[in-house]
Amino acid sequence: MTTTTTELTGSGAAPGAAPARVAKRRNGGGLGTYLLIRFLLIIPTVFILVTTVFFLMRSTGDPITAALGGRLTGEQLAERVREAGYDRPLLVQYFEYLGNVFTGDFGTAISDNRPITEMLTTFGAATLELVFYALIVAFLVGIPLGRLAAYLRDRWPDAVLRVFAIVCYATPVFFFGMLLKLVFAVNLGWLPVAGRASTGADIQLQQLDGSTGIYLIDAIRLGDGEVIADVLEHAVLPAIALGLLTAGIFLRLVRTNVIGTLGMGYVEAARSRGVAERRLLKKHAYRPALIPIITVIGLQVALLLSGAVLTETTFEWKGLGFQLTEYIEARDFVAVQGIVVLLAVIVAVTNFIVDVIAALIDPRVRY
Amino acid sequence: ACGGGDDGGGGDSGGGGGTLTIGTTDKVTTLDPAGSYDNGSFAVMNQVFPFLMNTPPGSPDVEPDIAESAEFTAPTQYTVTLKPGLKWANGNDLTSSDVKFTFDRQVAIADENGPSSLLGNLDSVETPDDTTVVFNLKSENDQTFPQILSSPAGPIVDEDVFSATELTPDQEIVDGNAFHGQYVITNYDLNNLVSYEAYPDYQGLLGEPKTAQVNVKYYADASNLKLDIQEGNIDVAWRSLSATDIEDLRGNDEVNVVDGPGGEIRYIVFNFNTQPYGAATPEADPAKALAVRQAVAHLIDREELAEQVYKGTYTPLYSFVPEGLTGATEPLREKYGDGEGGPDAEKAAQVLEAAGVQTPVQLSLQYSNDHYGPSSGDEYALIKDQLESDGLFAVDLQTTEWVQYSEQRTEDVYPAYQLGWFPDYSDADNYLTPFFRAENFLGNHYENPQVDQLIAQQVATPDPAERTALIEQIQDLVADDLSTVPYLQGAQVAVTGADVEGAEDTLDPSFKFRYGALSKG
Amino acid sequence: MSTATSSEVAPAPAPAPRADRGWKTLPLVRQVRQSVGLQRGMLVAGLVLSALFLLVAIFAPLLAPYEYNQLRDPSGAFGAQQEPSSAHWLGTTVGGYDVLSRVIWGSRTALYVIVVALLLSFFVGVLLGLVSGYFGGWLDRVLVVLCDAVYAFPSLLLAIVVAIAISGGESSLWGGIMAAAIAITVVFIPQYFRVVRAETVRIKSEAFVESAKVIGASHRRIMFRHVLRNATRTLPLILTLNASEAVSTLAALGFLGFGIEPTAAAEWGYDLKRALADVSSGIWWTSVFPGLAIVLVVLGLTLVGESLNDLADPRLRTRRRAVVTPADVAETTVVPGGALGAGPGGLGGLQDRDDGRRFAQ
Amino acid sequence: MSAGNPVVGIENLSVSFATDIGTVDAVRDVSLGVAAGEVLAIVGESGSGKTVTARSILGLLPETALTRGAILLNSKDGGSTHDVVTLRGARLGEVRGRDAAMVFQEPSTALNPVFPVGWQIAEGLRAHGKYSKREAREKAIDVLRRVGIPDPEHRVDHYPHQFSGGQKQRIVIAQALVLDPGVIIADEPTTALDVTVQAEILDLLRRCRDEFGAAIVLITHNMGVVADLADRVAVMYQGRIVEQADVRSLFSAPQEPYTQQLLAAVPRLGRGVARTRERAAARPAGWQEATPVVSARDLRIVYPGRLRQPDFVAVDGVSFDIRPGEVLGLVGESGSGKTTIGRAIAGLTKVTGGSLQVLGTEMNGVREKAFRPVRERIGFVFQDPASSFNPLLTIAEAVAEPLVVHRRARDARAARPRVDELLEQVQLPKAFGDRYPHELSGGQRQRASLARSLALEPALLIADEPTSALDVSVQARVLELFDELQREHGFAALFISHDLAVVDLLADRIAVLYKGRLVEEGTGAEVLGAPRHPYTQRLLASLPVPHPDEQARRRALWEQLRAADGG
Ligand SMILES: Nc1ncnc2c1ncn2[C@@H]1O[C@H](COP(=O)(O)OP(=O)(O)OP(=O)(O)O)[C@@H](O)[C@H]1O
Ligand SMILES: Nc1ncnc2c1ncn2[C@@H]1O[C@H](COP(=O)(O)OP(=O)(O)OP(=O)(O)O)[C@@H](O)[C@H]1O
Ligand SMILES: [Mg+2]
Ligand SMILES: [Mg+2]
């Protein structure tokens, strides 16, 4: 929810951003070097985030008191805090945590004893599935409409589309989700209220050998048409809620960048040679706009995850974001910290991948 | 498992063939009894693990479950005899060795989320033979011990599946089929979906379950649970529906709302040192301090709190031991307010005036906004409003995150503050010992030697009638002192589809929701 | 009419940055005047919504029929979840408050949070960006990596973490506002940092900064007299966009339970969270109004911000069409989507051109 | 006027733009004709409407433009005539590129960075007919070869960034040529290029006409280019055509006062010789021995490479002196290191090797603190007058900055009398002090810039291409002013320019820089009259002079040189 608009500012600057990076890369030698350095940059990023999150979370006190404070007497509590090592100097704990994180151990939730890394596999798949659906919606809605808006620039359909885009990200996901549920699940009864599958389907999916956790894949492997339909039905509303949020941003992003490239000399040059307007839009302006679009879309991953937290909560989509709010509610700060750091790693890695894709698309870098 | 699609699409309302789907907002921490001490986990354990003692439907008191008999064979010796030939669902024998294993490991693991603290009075466990277990206790005649055997510390586990020294992962328990209860778990997806199947060899107190197959769906958001029960997607909705939802569902013909007494209570704690005129304040004066507490008790309108904030999902509480438990009385109803449960501003004013307290009394009142549900804010806004509306109090209402709250409340930071209590087992003692003995968990500097002595006495009184009398006397005494002012008692509410029966049988003061009691017509 | 009348007169003076042409050059007024057609429509719509928000926030005590934490009036308690009526135009909430009053008072809370968050992040971000961009070196590199890391982080999560860290204390009105504001600040600082730093780096290599250096001006003088004010020109638009973001972040925090308690202040996200359960029971008024309030405020502020962005960006700005008299219509050449960039000979004054460079390549 | 039928006929064209500040009339009542195979040059100062006229031929004006009049385009075969002003949509697309094609000023922006050049060339073909992929590719390769791209079979798949600036412009021209248009409109096709590259592009354009039979509309403000290529010239001023004539008569006998003025303002090689001699004569004895103001010995400036990239040596082993009161002109093509040297002297770029003495201070390893007092005695005039002023300060405040910084005045207000004096010296009205930079024209701004640099009475002035952003006529006046001020104040100066003629006009001595090395140094007469280094020779030969006959001779010489190079 929150990065929304600033990304947009970013998007204004985006067409500049990519070439600037390109320039840097070209100074920096080959693509290989660039990718290596870009990859190494993940480390400080993650390091900074781990550090920030650790100290912020621990500034409130130790997680045991947070989770169990109410139930135990002071002595019992102190005993447990001591056992878990939370009474040692913060720095000692920090370095220990750091060491653990770099060996892939993100800790274990206090409230239910689950290793955080295990959550990546159990809930990560659900989040991945949701994000995947949402991206489909976002791409299907945002990109064509963005192009349309750029094409019909400054006419009324453009204004309508832009207001639509803004409304998409001005509406809090939880509010929008609630309205969707009310209309489509309760009043019309077309779609299920929440969850990833109905009970029967859920049981079948779970008992499937070697289930991936991605229900759609599992359902297809199961080969039961009804289960597939059931899984898809459950995905519709969350995908729309999260997808439209992102679609609004994509729309705006595509519009801005395509208008930007439409004004570039090379489009003008192609126009001067009689290339038709439609083709200018579809090829000459769109392709170059794609590079900054992809770069900024990469930054949207962060936003998408923020949105996913709220969407998953609204629709009981049991993914990482859902789990995060659960742990927040339980004040299980070890788990919160673990998931947050996990998400940070995901974001850092995704951004890296997106940058690589952008670099590969950009011929200035590829050659 | 491809035979699915029994009643296809999205509306698989429990399915035919004796399947029941229950929705809940509870959360499971872990299946391992040593690692969890919460309602959600305990609810699962109640279906699938055997207990030595258990509460029969409709009563708060305990009886042998998989035991044939259980009794004090000496003041510090509690002997339980198991039924012969018990078997775990995986075929292992269920013997006294499992029982010893269970309690030894509870104590050994002492997990921070676990209930091992309940076993504080347990010294050692002996197994003279395969069916006999002897519990050696530290204090004599502990009348709560049978209750403890039915509490979260009590589920017996299979020593061949569980680890003696650490928590056993849920999946191992499920894979090991280490169950012996009305049900066994056939499919387990933590906090999402759990499927149960009746266990044919269960021979305990509860008998054969009425429904052979039960699925439990876990919800995080009560409104989703509500929508699903309303849409008929599930058969039973259990726990934590919001007050609004329940009220709405009451008006819905397609579902039944079933109420039962709840064990959860809410109360205001006074810190005897820092409350107005408290012992550590400059103008310390025990009489005035008592007058302030009494004025609060006079002014609180429990009816309004229960109705406006909780829409009847909580009920007014006029005692320290909630209604439904053996020995519960309502001393506060007569002693304070209009004598019929309502508030009385007049009396409050008189009390204060008689003690020479200047009004309005400045009272700092603290509550936690994140521990007792989202309605705490409304609850305390209303209490503040009630205390202030006659000009007797000026309340400085503050809220704190639970982490700090739980630290600061025992550090004498809060003169008066909110707390809630959910019992470990359904015995009146669980509402007395933790609160009113000299060294209590409230840490509010309340001390009444007589009360202290009486509490100690009732625990060790084997005769039920005698004990009940003592408990009543304690309540009366505390009602005079007002160490705390209890005001609400949670109700258990289950919502069932119109064709589901049996919910009322299990909504009893044992606070154990047993799926086996439910059936679908 | 300034087409070169003599070769020594500037081709098309852009409006002066200072108000030497009176009110017409005041920031927003200037943009409204600059805009045309639908772009102006959107800007004005955004301004109206934002102004409405501001007015409601400022005059909340006068507008709201009750206090935000009022549960009863002389005629008795309001009661919870009462339907809209003449006494409570928008009904009452689950906690028994008047919805209209809470919506109105909520604007004030939102405004407080916006103001505090923006002030904090503005000063910290701008200062850091300026120093970092100007001096470069290892500090700059560290700050850039730091800010990039924070920037790439899901901002809501960060806000949650910060809120957890801060709200450990009591959540009085200001405690709550500060918690939300600081949480938002932490998310915003990198944004200001990035923008100001990028601008500073760009301006640092501009000839006028070099000329100040050649003259021998001290770093401080260059930074504050020459770089700072030029580097902060795009900030108004970021400010508006961030303001809207602050509102949604505040709402999201409130929704997730890091809000301000109802007795301390009215907060839309909190009210919405509390109202979620109502919706399924047919009680729509408790959620729809705070929800709408959020949507409208964010919409208004975003419209303003985006319009400012478009106006500052020569590629995106709509220009007035040639004045067409009916007789001329047949002769008008319209190239769909065609646009002459504001090249050296184009109309853009210095100011527009600079922006153009920033947003273009 | 040549005999062929006109391929373009512009009749009473007027164009106006709607802008924030009202309607701007860019072109007023222009009538022009271009005959087949003819090169028509449109000249005029900046903003006179050249580009707008050219663009309107292709209907490439933005929506804010209102066009009146008629523009008749004849197809090359003479088969059809269209009035571009009334054409819309697809019909307009048909005409564009086929009847008239455009070559843009900036080759780097006219090429799409993400498509191979061959594809971009083929796009034009695709818009005007059916071609298979192979056919289009063959045609692209063919046209690339014809515009002189080596190894076109291979290069056709390359992306724009893989070509040099000159090659890019060739590709842009190829894009126009492949459609075989009746007329090519070239809007300042060489302004972004070095003189030596410019000569080659002009040569290519000539071949366009000769080999492809295209008429050319050439827009430029370089009179040398006009003399080199044009058959006929139209002079624009304030949106109108003030004079039209064939190239010889225009240069030999301009009719309109404006044209005369314009031609007079063009700097010509060799004019400075007399002046230099005169100045040299006026110098006191012993001047030769005076300590140089600037003295460079084996100066080496390296830009550190980033990320394992090799360092870039921008200036390599350069030695020169500037004596008091002397003007040293520094020329060289783009990227040769001129600016770098100027900046090093002003302490803006670090010296990495050798020695550079500036007013007695060694710049190699100098500390900013130690150098600050020296700054007082150095003035600097930047290339772009638009960006060298803080847009938020008034001219007076900006000019007062050096005075305030060096505590000659408490603040800008207190410095005002001195500022007014300075403005007067550069012939600006005092009232201009209260204006903001953007409210001044380029020439005025550059004057103000001079005023600022002179505020502290410097002993050394560094001028980095101070006139390259200005129109010829404006440039002439600024140069004149510079000369006057230099005489008056007697400062030593480093005058950087890429225009030999300009340097010749002002400098006592000229230094030629080539790829970071000083290849030649001497008086104007020595360097321009008898260049010794082949690069200087080539540079001189590629410089078009504003005289058609003279230029024809020089072109012959250049072609010789080039042939020799090639062989
Ligand atoms: N898109 C536009 N909107 C408004 N005015 C414009 C636009 N394009 C050009 N003009 C104005 O029209 C006039 C003529 O501009 P034009 O670009 O034709 O000049 P030019 O002769 O090509 O100058 P230069 O030598 O600088 O390229 C100028 O005053 C310019 O400001
Ligand atoms: N900051 C820098 N970092 C790296 N390389 C640089 C930097 N500045 C200039 N260069 C390189 O140094 C070389 C000389 O640049 P310089 O600006 O001195 O050339 P110039 O002769 O002034 O050219 P022009 O006529 O285009 O102004 C160029 O190749 C340029 O790319
Ligand atoms: Mg031009
Ligand atoms: Mg230069």
CA of D498, closest atom in ligand 2: 25
Q: D321 to each of D299, D342, D352, D529, how far by Cα in Å?
A: 12, 13, 18, 22
Phi and psi angles of residue A331, each rounded to the nearest 5 degrees, phi first = 55, 35
User: D17: Cβ below 6 Å to ligand 1?
Assistant: yes
Residue B244, classed as helix, strand or coil, is helix
Write C322-331 long-range contacts (CB < 8 A, 24+): C322/D16, C322/D17, C322/D18, C322/D23, C322/D64, C322/D65, C322/D66, C323/D18, C323/D23, C323/D66, C324/D66, C328/D66, C328/D68, C330/D86, C331/D66, C331/D67, C331/D68, C331/D85, C331/D86
User: C338: Cβ below 6 Å to ligand 1?
Assistant: no
Pocket test for ligand 2, best of D191, D312, D494 (most atoms within 8 A of CB): D312
Burial profile D343-362: b = 16 or more Cβ within 10 angstroms, e = fewer: bbbbbbbebbebebbbbeee
Give the one of C14, C226, C334 whose C-beta lies nearest to D438's C-beta. Answer: C14
pLDDT of residue C7: 36
Residues facing B63 on adjacent strands: B54
Between the two ends of chain D, the Cα-to-Cα distance in Å is 39
Burial profile C49-88: b = 16 or more Cβ within 10 angstroms, e = fewer: bbeebeebbeebeeebebebbbbeeeeebbebbbeeeeeb
The answer to whether B16 contacts chain A (CB < 8 Å) is no
Do chain D and C touch: 3 or more Cβ pairs under 8 angstroms? yes
Cβ–Cβ gap C248/A15 under 8 Å:
no
pLDDT of residue D320: 92
Residue D381, classed as helix, strand or coil, is strand
d(CA A94, CA A112): 23
Q: How many Å lie between the alpha carbon of A173 and the closest alpha carbon of chain C?
A: 9
Phi and psi angles of residue D94, each rounded to the nearest 5 degrees, phi first = -60, -40
Residues facing A158 on adjacent strands: none
Quick check: B14 pLDDT over 50?
Answer: no
Q: Annotate D157-224 with DSSP letters as a single string.
A: T--GGGS-HHHHHHHHHHHHHTT--SEEEEESTTTTS-HHHHHHHHHHHHHHHHHH--EEEEE-S-HH
Quick check: C354 pLDDT over 70?
Answer: no
Q: Note the residue count of chain C.
A: 361
Tell me, in angstroms, the distance from the centre of ligand 1 to residue D389's CA.
23
Give the one of C41, C156, C338 whose C-beta lies nearest to A309's C-beta. Answer: C156
pLDDT of residue C243: 84
Report residue B113's pLDDT band, with 50, 70 and 90 as the boundaries: confident
Dmax over CA atoms of chain C, in Å, equals 80
The H or E element spanning position B398 is strand B393-400
Cβ–Cβ gap B230/C167 under 8 Å:
no
Give the rounded distance of the alpha carbon of B286 from its chain centre. Answer: 33
Give the burial class of D379: count Cβ atoms within 10 A of its Cβ; 0-12 exposed, 13-18 middle, 19 or more buried. buried
User: D325: Cβ below 6 Å to ligand 1?
Assistant: no
User: D336: Cβ below 6 Å to ligand 2?
Assistant: yes
User: D314: Cβ below 6 Å to ligand 2?
Assistant: yes
User: D28: Cβ below 6 Å to ligand 1?
Assistant: no
| pLDDT per position as a tens digit, B214-245 | 999 888 878 788 888 888 888 998 877 878 88
Q: How many Å lie between the alpha carbon of B287 and the closest alpha carbon of chain A?
A: 29
Q: Which residues of C touch A50 (CB under 8 A)?
A: none
Cβ–Cβ gap C167/B222 under 8 Å:
no
Give the residue from C341, C256, C318 showing the smallest Cα distance to C39.
C318
pTM > 0.90: yes or no: no
pLDDT of residue A182: 81
Cβ–Cβ gap B223/C77 under 8 Å:
no
| pLDDT per position as a tens digit, B490-516 | 888 889 988 888 888 888 877 888 888
Q: Cα–Cα–Cα angle for C85, C89, C94, nearest 5°?
A: 85
More confident residue, C223 or A24: C223
The H or E element spanning position C122 is helix C99-135
ipTM for the whole complex: 0.77
Tell me, in angstroms, the distance from the centre of ligand 4 to residue D339's CA.
4
Cβ–Cβ gap B378/C96 under 8 Å:
yes
Cβ–Cβ gap D113/A37 under 8 Å:
no
CA of D48, closest atom in ligand 1: 21
User: D335: Cβ below 6 Å to ligand 2?
Assistant: yes
Take residue D544 and report the two structure tokens written for it: 């078009």
Give the one of C221, C328, C345 whose C-beta lies nearest to D47's C-beta. Answer: C345
Give the one of B242, B309, B369 whose C-beta lies nearest to C277's C-beta. Answer: B242
| pLDDT per position as a tens digit, C212-244 | 888 888 888 888 888 888 877 767 777 877 888
Cβ–Cβ gap B308/C69 under 8 Å:
no
The amino acid at C199 = E
Q: What percentage of residues in chain B have a pLDDT greater than 70?
A: 96
CA of D349, closest atom in ligand 2: 1
Give the one of C71, C262, C277 whose C-beta lies nearest to B245's C-beta. Answer: C277
pLDDT of residue D298: 92
Residue of C nearest to B223 (CA): C277
d(CA B445, CA B484): 12
Cβ–Cβ gap A182/C279 under 8 Å:
yes
d(CA C64, CA C72): 15
Provide, for chain A, the percentages of residues in helix, strand and coil under a 3-state DSSP scheme, each rounded to the nearest 5: 80, 0, 20
pLDDT of residue C25: 61
pLDDT tens string, chain D, 567 residues long: the values are: 444 578 888 889 999 888 766 788 889 999 988 888 899 999 988 888 888 998 888 888 887 888 888 888 887 777 778 888 887 777 888 888 888 888 888 888 888 888 889 999 998 888 888 888 888 899 899 889 888 888 888 888 888 888 888 888 889 988 888 888 888 999 888 887 788 888 888 888 888 888 888 899 999 888 888 988 899 999 998 889 999 999 899 888 888 898 998 888 888 877 777 777 877 777 777 777 778 889 999 999 998 866 556 788 889 999 999 988 889 999 988 888 899 999 999 988 889 989 998 988 898 888 888 888 888 889 998 888 778 888 888 899 999 988 998 888 888 888 899 999 899 888 888 888 888 888 887 888 888 998 998 888 899 999 988 888 788 888 888 888 888 888 888 899 999 988 888 888 888 899 999 988 999 998 888 888 888 888 888 888 888 888 888 888 888 888 887 787 654
Which chains neighbour A (Cβ–Cβ under 8 Å, 3 or more pairs)?
B, C, D
